[in-house]
Structure 1
Amino acid sequence: MNNEIVGEYKMSSSDNYDAYLSALGTGMIMRKLLTTAKPTETISIAGDTIAIKISTVSKTNEIKFTLGQQFDETTISDKQFRTTVTSEGNILIQNQIDGDSKTGVITREFTTEGMTKKMEFGPVKARQVYTKAT
């Protein structure tokens, strides 16, 4: 993965995020907080380590990983996963497995204008579009 993905991305639109959070088992109050927020995702790279920091007014979450190596992830909605992130060209693919062996996938596709984030958990799909701020 190259340094072109490094930067700050601000969410400009979201589709079906509440249903996605519900499928994850996120409670109603946390869903309301997260669906009304306009998160910023900040991506940095230091050596082989990629960090993705998701910030809202009420909550911040950060994951750090090396491509292809499984790690323990706690999402911004407090869901626990065993996660592996890989890349294909300008796309980061985040494969998640929870304690019940249910799987989820988050893809982040980067362009010069920003990022499109697609989230799947079971049959539920959601999408967020981000513009690159820096």
Structure 2
Amino acid sequence: DSANFDEYMKAIGIGFAMRQIGSVTKPTLIISAEGDHVTLKTTSTFKNMEWNFTLGEEFDETTADERKTKSTFTVDGDKLVQVQRWEGKETTISRAVSGDSMVATCSIGDVVCA
């Protein structure tokens, strides 16, 4: 369970109903890479998503909550870092693997969810 996740979802503009779904959804994340090309897949009871991208290159992303963003992924040590930009907003999502779990830290402005 992520502390402050509801506040984070509010800050990025997700409405009440989608926040309720988001708070109980536990997606499975599969990351595969070949050089700088990465495929990231999420599966859940709510929605399945797949992104194909090249590290360091901005691409158009439609998020699970239907936001249209410009996203860039980079690697920082053992973390996969994603920056999403849309409508003058910017959020950073940092993902790291710990054992068989992924730990994500999300931030927008002074709102941080870990």
TM-score for the superposition, normalised by structure 2: 0.87
Using the TM superposition, give the Cα deviation of residue 123 of structure 1 relative to its aligned residue in structure 2, in angstroms: 2.0
- Secondary structure of residue in 2 paired with 1:14: coil
Partner of 1:126: 113
Q: Does 2:16 correspond to 1:28?
A: yes
| Aligned pairs for 1:86-105 within 5 A | 86-98=74-86, 100-105=87-92
Partner of 2:28: 40
Partner of 1:109: 96
Using the TM superposition, give the Cα deviation of residue 28 of structure 1 relative to its aligned residue in structure 2, in angstroms: 1.1
Contiguous gaps of at least 5 residues in structure 2 = none
Contiguous gaps of at least 5 residues in structure 1 = 1-12, 128-134
Contact 1:90 1:111 in 2 (8 A): no
- Secondary structure of residue in 1 paired with 2:64: coil
- Secondary structure of residue in 1 paired with 2:45: coil
Coordinate RMSD, CA, aligned = 1.6
Residue 68 of structure 1 is aligned with which of 44, 53, 56?
Answer: 56
Using the TM superposition, give the Cα deviation of residue 53 of structure 1 relative to its aligned residue in structure 2, in angstroms: 1.5
Q: Distance in 2 between matches of 1:64 and 1:110?
A: 19
Q: Distance in 2 between matches of 1:15 and 1:62?
A: 26
Partner of 1:9: none
Q: What number of residue pairs does the alignment pair up? A: 114
Q: Does 2:7 correspond to 1:19?
A: yes
Using the TM superposition, give the Cα deviation of residue 126 of structure 1 relative to its aligned residue in structure 2, in angstroms: 1.1
TM-score for the superposition, normalised by structure 1: 0.76
Using the TM superposition, give the Cα deviation of residue 60 of structure 1 relative to its aligned residue in structure 2, in angstroms: 1.7
Using the TM superposition, give the Cα deviation of residue 113 of structure 1 relative to its aligned residue in structure 2, in angstroms: 4.3
Amino acid in the other structure paired with 1:78: E
Contact 1:70 1:83 in 2 (8 A): yes
Partner of 2:42: 54
The percentage of aligned residue pairs carrying the same residue is: 35
